[in-house]
Copies of this chain bind each other. A is one copy, B any other.
Amino acid sequence: MSETRTEISSLGEFGLIDHLTRNFEIQNASTILSVGDDAAVIDHFGKQTVITTDLLIEGIHFDLMYTPLKHLGYKSVIVNLSDVYAMNAIPTHITMSIGISNRFSVEALDEFYEGVYAACSKYNVDLVGGDTSASQKGFIISVTGVGEVAPDKFVKRSTAKKGDLVCVSGDLGGAFLGLTLLEREKKIYLENPQIQPDLENEDYIVGRLLKPEARKDIIEFFEKNDIVPTAMMDVSDGISSEILHICKQSNLGCRLYEEKLPIAELTRQAAFKFGLDPTVCALNGGEDYELIFTLKQEDYDKITLNEEIAVIGYMSELEEGCKLLTKGGNTFDITAQGWNAFRG
């Protein structure tokens, strides 16, 4: 962090917004009016508008002890764009609101916005509005993503069909192991601040947690190869939880194969190091921001050449339930782990 400290109060609300948004240049013709008025104006020229929103709260969704502010800004945008891609849509705009206590300086916010800016720039998205507020405690981030899709080309969760292939992009479980590692290092540091963190060879899993990407490439691949998934969502809570949503909303069951789950070698090694089962990490670890989708079987040939897509199973009758077939030949019910922030 820079050594200069400029108090937020020295700029005032409007000065702060001007300062934070000064580097944003409009990239999309659809942006008719941007930051600086009561609202922004967007024209998707006949396409349909997709909208999604996320609320990220310090201490619940992120820990500033091991999350650099620039990465946090980047990731805040990415998690939101990931939801837009999961509709088979192209993100075009975001609004970003933040609530901050006065422990943050203008320089700290600049770092956060550098990350926001980098993500917007990489994904060709315009920041068109937001709100800047004081908070009594902690850093609060609210992002709303807007995208566009050709009329009725969006992909829901509820439209998978029996026999469809279940596919997933990239690899799974890395972000969860990155979190496990950083939580361990935090605990060690808090017990003895003299001990330096041991993150050697852990770039991959730490990067999966702190600097995820959204799967723009997969949506572009679908477009280019004339593929429309029958159902799709992004992997934020873990694929166990996500496939159960698709099954429930599509009124179907599924059968997944443990041996087909894509797990990176570095993720596998990290799991063994922590005494964890890589399969469990892949199924229940969240925040991978991959896409899980179902495809008609006749589309199989179209995806075989894409190494970023793995077929992990198929959709079955509702009565067959949601099952995982293990490498050892056993069959287990898939159950959702996940959201329990209100417990305990």
A residues contacting B by CB (< 8 A) are: 7-9, 12-14, 32-33, 36-44, 46, 48-61, 83-84, 86-87, 89, 93, 95, 97-99, 102, 128-131, 133-138, 140, 142, 144-147, 149, 151-152, 154, 156-158, 232-234, 249, 339-343
Contact = CB atoms under 8 A, between A and B. Distances in A.
A339 B13 CA distance: 7
A67 B331 CA distance: 53
Contact of A145 (B37, B39, B137, B154): B39
Copies of this chain in its oligomeric complex: 2
Contact of A53 (B33, B130, B154): B130
Given A13-B339, A38-B86, 5 more contacts: A14-B339, A38-B157, A39-B145, A53-B142, A55-B140
A14 to B, nearest CB: 8
Nearest to A49: B42
A146 B55 contact: no
Report which residue of A37, A52, A145, A149 has the largest number of chain B beta carbons within 10 angstroms of its beta carbon.
A37
A154 B13 CA distance: 25
A57 B136 contact: yes
A147 B89 CA distance: 20
B33 A40 contact: no
Report which residue of A13, A54, A142, A154 has the largest number of chain B beta carbons within 10 angstroms of its beta carbon.
A142
28 contacts: A9-B340, A9-B342, A14-B339, A33-B154, A37-B233, A38-B52, A38-B84, A38-B234, A39-B50, A40-B51, A40-B52, A42-B51, A43-B49, A43-B151, A44-B44, A51-B93, A52-B129, A53-B131, A54-B131, A55-B97, A55-B133, A55-B140, A57-B133, A57-B135, A60-B99, A60-B135, A134-B341, A137-B138
